[in-house]
Structure 1
Amino acid sequence: MGVIEIEVDPLPCKMCGQLLEQRRWWTPKRFCGNWHRMKYRAGQFLAFVLDLLT
């Protein structure tokens, strides 16, 4: 019984734009590291708070 191979195109990191190798097709990798993930989430949170204040 063979293994199903699915090719997935590399996606850019949402913070720096570096192309990321996709190892799993069911959960694409969106950030190149935990630091970029944390910075992105903090930016989203601050934008949400500022949107509420205006």
Structure 2
Amino acid sequence: MGVIEIEVDPLPCKWCRRPLEQRRWWTPKRFCNGWHRLKYRVTQFFALVGTLLG
């Protein structure tokens, strides 16, 4: 029995667009680190508030 090899293309970080190495195909990485994740979520939140109030 052999190991199944699944190749996953590197996705860019959603904040800085740097390509990320994907170690798992079932949960791809979307951010370089926790700070980029936090910055992205905060900007998304304020964009949503801006569209709801505007």
TM-score tier, shorter chain, comes to over 0.9
Distance of 1:6 and 1:32 partners within structure 2: 22
Identical aligned pairs, as a percentage? 74
Runs ≥4 in structure 1, deviation > 2 angstroms?
none
Unaligned stretches of 5+ residues in structure 1: none
Unaligned stretches of 5+ residues in structure 2: none
What amino acid is aligned across from residue 5 of structure 2 in structure 1? E
Deviations 1:9-39 (A, max 9, x none): 1110010010000000111101000000000
Q: Does 2:40 match 1:40?
A: yes
Distance of 2:21 and 2:50 partners within structure 1: 34
Could you tell me which residue of structure 2 aligns to residue 28 of structure 1? 28
Distance of 2:18 and 2:28 partners within structure 1: 14
TM-score, L = length of structure 1? 0.94
